[in-house]
Amino acid sequence: MEIYDIIKSLLSLIAGVGVFLIACNMMSSNLESLGSKRMKALFAKTSNSKLLGVGVGTVATAVIQSSSATSVMTIGFVNAGIMSLVQAAAVIFGANIGTTITGQLVALGLSGGSKISTSVIFATLAGIGAFIVLFTKRDKWQKIGGFLAGFGMIFVGLSLMSSSMGDFAAQDSVKSFLAIFTNPFLLVLIGMLLTAVIQSSSVMTSMAITMVVTGLISINQGIYITMGSNIGTCITALIAGLASGRNAKRTALIHVIFNVSGVVVFMILGFIMRLTGGIDFGDLFEIMFPGATQLQLSMFHTIFNVSTVIIVLPFTEALVKLVTKIVPDKKSEQSDEPHLYYVDDYMLKTPPVAVLQTKNEIINMAKIAITNFEISCDIIKTLDYTRIEEFRKNEKTLNFLNKELVAFIVKILRCELSERDRVFLTGAIRTVSDIERVGDYAENIVEYADNLSSVGMYFSDKAKKEIDELKTLMGNLYAKVIKAYGEHDISARDEAYLIEECVDEATDQMGRNHVSRLSDGVCTAQVGAQYLALSADVERIADHFINIARTVNA
């Protein structure tokens, strides 16, 4: 009969782990959507302050419920060149603190008397959240309901795991088998391997806490398994780093060294405690939290991660230098090929941040486009082709970004998003096309210059002056459009509308001035044709910039 009880308990454990994993995903995805603006602002403010980086990593992981996801996302930022290694290291340190939140929630859920536990009380939120999702159509309330349902389901999964492990604990054969594993190194290895399979140290730690509370394993066994989970959680980030650029590899290596260092320090400390006082971490935490089994392992997990950050943080720069030596730069790897500057597929782990970086990528693309417009104006005005290689490289980049950025946006649209972000991304596809068209018109202007150069003709001084004035107007228009787009500045958008009207008037005036010069014999029909084509193209460029401004709504 015992074998059937074991199978039943095993199936319940698998069900509990499954519910727990789905609940974590539900809670984090809905919380990400609800706090997307704050999440974006959080990462946007990440600076060279190491403490701020630790804070960002802690909060992000508390929201995402996965230090692996935060680490992978950080690798994406480094790979895109928008985060330094020092910043990335600090964020990863913070991620290890943030991952302790789940353990504390589990400890809270396992509290309470024998008649009704905290877990049952919190589990009711699953039903409340489900009712909210069913009976409301507003996106915000749908997300709130989804978050509550996910939060409640965490405790439903916890109850299933706790029940199954309680059944296991009642089986003497199971307890006798697990009691064999007392070697700290073996327990660390078990925790590392299981976490590498589950790909979540939060879930592994939660399982360990439940096993300790039900008496299936000792507090000491749970502590060393939890240490191992901190190493196992590096596997995902390590795989992501190996598939990315050199700095991304360094970031992944920082993650591994940091987590392994913490485990090594505490293993040595545990060895000294056993050697000198005959006690281990389990004995110490039983003294610190007597009668509160559910708190003993969760508090160790928190203290372990916070202590590791305190120990390693002052040596961040030295750690960065070490990984730079281990993974040195290679000149042969540097390439002038077009690439995405701000986005990376690893950012899809956190859609709100991916949306923020998509906007930055679009703004960077617009900067490249306006640069090419200015180069084209200078070339047609002076027939000096000194910057033509820069122009061609920019045009190649614009074509690449047009294709790859749209593909990336489509990938984000498949993720869980707030309605606001979904609307933005839908419009962003058109915006990318508008910017690419600006580059095409700049290319047309260079072709007009080629036509003039081939027949040995050029514009008059008055025409060149008008081109300069138009170039200045377009620079002002671009500045206002980007301010409106990047900062959601309505007043800047309205100013852009006024400047665009000035551009229209200026291009109309160019046409009238050309006719006048043609009548006076100052200009030829062949030169005038290129001049009129240029003014028409500039007017179209202004229209494309205004299309971008129109996406900014009050």
- What digits encode the pLDDT tens for the residues 474-502? 999 999 999 999 988 999 999 999 999 99
Distance CA 43, CA 66 (A): 17
pLDDT value, residue 1:
41
Which residues lie below 8 Å from residue 387, measured CB to CB, with a gap of 6+?
375, 378, 379
Could you tell me which CATH number the domain at 347-550 has? 1.20.58.220
pLDDT at 255 over 50: yes
% of the chain beyond a pLDDT of 90: 35
- The mean pLDDT of 115-128, rounded to a whole number, is 73
Distance CA 403, CA 252 (A): 29
Asked if residue 438 lies in contact with residue 545, where contact means CB atoms within 8 angstroms, the answer is yes
Asked if residue 404 lies in contact with residue 397, where contact means CB atoms within 8 angstroms, the answer is no
pLDDT at 44 over 60: no
Distance CA 361, CA 255 (A): 27
Of 77-81, 281-285, 374-378, 544-548, the range with the lowest mean pLDDT is: 77-81
More confident residue, 227 or 203: 227
pLDDT value, residue 114:
47
Largest alpha-carbon pair distance within the chain? 110
Please write the tens of the pLDDT for every residue from 465-474: 999 999 999 9
Please write the tens of the pLDDT for every residue from 160-208: 777 777 666 666 666 677 778 889 999 999 989 888 877 677 778 888 8
DSSP conformation letters of 260-310:
HHHHHHHHHHHHHHHHHHS--HHHHHHHHSTT-HHHHHHHHHHHHHHHHHH
Distance CA 14, CA 111 (A): 23
Place of tokens 């160019």: 510
Asked if residue 273 lies in contact with residue 281, where contact means CB atoms within 8 angstroms, the answer is yes
% of the chain beyond a pLDDT of 70: 85
3-state secondary structure 6-65: HHHHHHHHHHHHHHHHHHHHHHHHHHHHHCHHHHHHHHHCCCCCHHHHHHHHHHHHHHHC
Token pair belonging to 206: 């939660």
pLDDT value, residue 384:
92
End-to-end Cα separation, the chain, in angstroms:
69
More confident residue, 519 or 231: 231
58-67, 177-186, 381-390, 457-466, range with greatest mean pLDDT: 381-390
pLDDT-based confidence at 335, cuts 50/70/90? low
- The mean pLDDT of 216-224, rounded to a whole number, is 90
pLDDT value, residue 65:
63
- The mean pLDDT of 145-157, rounded to a whole number, is 82
Token pair belonging to 472: 């200045």
Burial class (CB in 10 A: 0-12, 13-18, 19+), 83: buried
More confident residue, 421 or 554: 421
pLDDT at 213 over 80: yes
- The mean pLDDT of 48-69, rounded to a whole number, is 76
59-63, 315-319, 365-369, range with greatest mean pLDDT: 365-369
pLDDT at 94 over 80: yes
pLDDT value, residue 33:
62
> Comparing C-alpha atoms, which of 545, 542, 516 is closest to residue 531?
516
The letter for the amino acid at 333 is E
- pTM beyond cutoff 0.85: no
Distance CA 96, CA 68 (A): 9
Region class of 199: left (phi > 0), else alpha (psi between -120 and 50), else beta: left
More confident residue, 79 or 257: 257
Phi, psi of 36 (to 5 degrees): -60, -40
pLDDT-based confidence at 12, cuts 50/70/90? confident
The letter for the amino acid at 186 is L
pLDDT value, residue 19:
82
Mean pLDDT for all residues in the chain: 83
Domains in the chain: boundaries: 2-326, 347-550
Please state the length of the chain: 554
